């Protein structure tokens, strides 16, 4: 008999459409939770961003309810769903859920065991709590941008991924929710989780922040081995214009690298600050003599900590990642079948064939409200009044 998914039986109501909260519910669904995406009816859809059909893995393994939470009857309908739920995730501006009558106290009045997770950029209180923001803002306030190597004009770079939304926000929220579920299993009590994406960035920046707090150092670009101080941890261009990532931190890996690319003269100067410009020049000259993939074939298997800098298209075509099951097939009735990232975190539920992407116009509202105990007449009135769809 197959082992059930880790979160099998857990019911999650996600009131967000994009951002960290949506990242969180994606993670929970891939661990087996029953996730219900709650959004406004189509006539009010302009107030909520509707992601592309393929975004957030096409909302695979999720359900959708369309409820107008600003209407008293809509709020009452949601609270009926809360009665049977385990988790509610929201990403409204701090204080908004409470003003709508959907704050934690309102939720636990109908379900004492509910876990309510609020995700926001800067937290539910404090001087910054009302600030609007996006990924780049939270990375800026958390120190991530400052410690990254500078652009040609001297400014902080624009990250190539939404690190704050995905890791500092989504994974942060999912981890907090899983811990709360474990705690509730012992105490029987729900709780409120105030997930600040910026504080999640701080957790990612712990090495630098802790160094400053303990020693007074002010880490930045080129401060240490991980931020560009030494040539052994850097990127280099090959003869075909493609790039290699070199992470030869340990002395034996560095020695292997120097010998393999003909730079033995620099074996003793790995951490000599005065020699770094010369080492980089030697490495650049060496790597410029062959293509990226030629270097990777010779270096990567031989303890040098060298890897190719892939484009996203190359990521999707990589045989190692394909062999590990990193991608799966998806179907969508309004678009051609497509590939998508499979559940890749350890212990996640795995698809046993093509997965179905959720259609934006499709809803499970009636089924969910019936399960919550509403009669057919009550549901029909809500629909006729435009409160649900």
Rounded CA separation 80/59 (Å): 23
269's tokens: 């100067």
Residues labelled catalytic? 134, 165
Q: What is the pLDDT of residue 48?
A: 61
State the pLDDT at residue 44.
60
pLDDT of residue 389: 94
Residue 196 — φ and ψ, nearest 5°?
-95, 120
Low-confidence stretches of the chain (pLDDT < 50) are none
| Token digits of residue 364 | 């499970």
Are 233 and 222 spatial neighbours (Cβ–Cβ below 8 Å)? Answer: no
Q: How confident is the model at residue 376, as a pLDDT?
A: 96
Token output for 34: 């029953």
Question: In terms of DSSP bridges, do strands 335-341 and 327-332 run parallel, antiparallel, or are they unpaired?
Answer: antiparallel
3-state secondary structure of 331: strand
Q: Is 255 exposed, middle or buried (0-12, 13-18, 19+ CB in 10 A)?
A: middle
Residue-level pLDDT at 291 = 98
Query: Which tokens sit at 40?
Result: 């406004």
Task: State the pLDDT at residue 1.
Answer: 59
Calculate the dihedral angle through the C-alpha atoms of 157, 160, 161, 164, rounding to the nearest 10 degrees: 0
Domains assigned to the chain: 11-203+327-384 (3.40.50.10540), 225-237+243-308 (3.30.1540.10)
**Which residue in 11, 54, 26 sits closest to 119, CA to CA?**
26
Give the H or E element holding residue 279: helix 276-287
């Amino acid at each position: 008999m197959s082992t059930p998914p880790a979160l099998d039986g857990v019911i999650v109501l996600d009131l967000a459409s994009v951002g960290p909260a949506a990242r969180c519910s994606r993670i929970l669904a891939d661990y087996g939770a029953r996730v219900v995406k709650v959004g406004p009816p189509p006539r009010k859809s302009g107030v909520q961003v509707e992601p592309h059909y393929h975004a957030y893995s096409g909302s695979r393994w999720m359900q959708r309810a369309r409820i107008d939470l600003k209407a008293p009857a809509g709020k009452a309908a949601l609270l009926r769903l809360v009665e049977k739920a385990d988790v509610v995730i929201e990403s409204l501006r701090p204080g908004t859920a409470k003003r709508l009558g959907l704050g934690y106290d309102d939720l636990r009045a109908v379900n004492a065991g509910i876990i309510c997770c609020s995700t926001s950029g800067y937290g539910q209180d404090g001087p910054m709590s009302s600030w609007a923001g996006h990924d780049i803002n939270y990375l800026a306030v958390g120190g991530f941008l400052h410690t990254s190597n500078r652009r040609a004009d001297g400014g902080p770079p624009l990250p190539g991924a939404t690190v704050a939304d995905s890791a500092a926000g989504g994974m942060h929220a999912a981890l907090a929710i899983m811990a709360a579920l474990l705690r509730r299993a012992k105490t029987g009590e729900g709780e409120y989780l105030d997930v600040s994406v910026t504080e999640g960035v701080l957790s990612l920046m712990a090495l630098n922040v802790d160094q400053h707090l303990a020693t007074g150092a002010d880490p930045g670009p080129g401060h240490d081995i991980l931020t560009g101080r030494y040539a052994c941890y850097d990127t280099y261009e090959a003869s075909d214009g493609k790039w290699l990532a070199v992470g030869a931190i340990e002395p034996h890996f560095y020695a292997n690298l120097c010998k393999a690319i003909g730079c033995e003269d620099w074996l003793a100067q790995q951490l000599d600050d005065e020699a770094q410009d010369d080492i980089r020049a030697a490495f650049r000259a060496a790597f410029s003599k062959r293509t990226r993939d030629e270097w990777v074939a010779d270096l990567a298997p031989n303890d040098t900590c060298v890897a190719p800098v892939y484009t996203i298209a190359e990521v999707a075509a990589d045989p190692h990642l394909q062999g590990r099951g990193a991608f799966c097939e998806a179907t969508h009735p309004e678009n051609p079948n497509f590939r998508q990232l499979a559940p890749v975190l350890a212990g996640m539920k795995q698809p046993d064939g093509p997965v179905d992407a959720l259609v934006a116009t499709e809803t499970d509202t009636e089924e969910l409200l019936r399960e919550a105990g509403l009669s057919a007449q009550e549901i029909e009135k809500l629909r006729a009044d435009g409160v649900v769809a």
